[in-house]
Amino acid sequence: MKKIDTVQEFEKLSETNPRFFFMKHSLTCPVSSNAFTEYQSFLNKHEGEDGYYLAVQESRELSQHIAEKYGIRHESPQAFLFIEGKPGWTASHWKITESELDKL
């Protein structure tokens, strides 16, 4: 799992990676902490899946960019599966679980 901080990093990732998971999470929210743990657990079990994240407190510009570019209201925590440069799946809060991610 790799942290992405800038719009430029995200755009390069989106252009070069046909399928990847991405998560926005808060460093101070307990719900976000739980979702992040579920996300990490999923990625640890599925070594072939690419996973990335941002911390909203540290990467507000990127978080806003994703919301505006894809027309998806910002939430935190929020997880995505990007396919061919577009969100193919998204979930937020308690819906981000290892079992839900396993279905993708």
Q: Model-level pTM? A: 0.95
23 pLDDT more than 90: yes
47 pLDDT more than 90: no
- DSSP states of 40-88 as a string? HHHHHH-TTS-EEEEETTT-HHHHHHHHHHHT----SSEEEEEETTEEE
Contact 53, 24 (CB under 8 A): yes
- Its domain, for residue 56, covers 2-102
Q: Domain with 70 in it: what CATH number?
A: 3.40.30.10
**pLDDT, tens digit (0-9, with 9 covering 90-100), for 66-82:** 999 999 999 999 999 99
DSSP state at residue 1: -
When divided into structural domains, the chain yields a total of 1
Which residues are bridge partners to 79 per DSSP?
23, 91
What's the mean per-residue pLDDT of the chain? 96
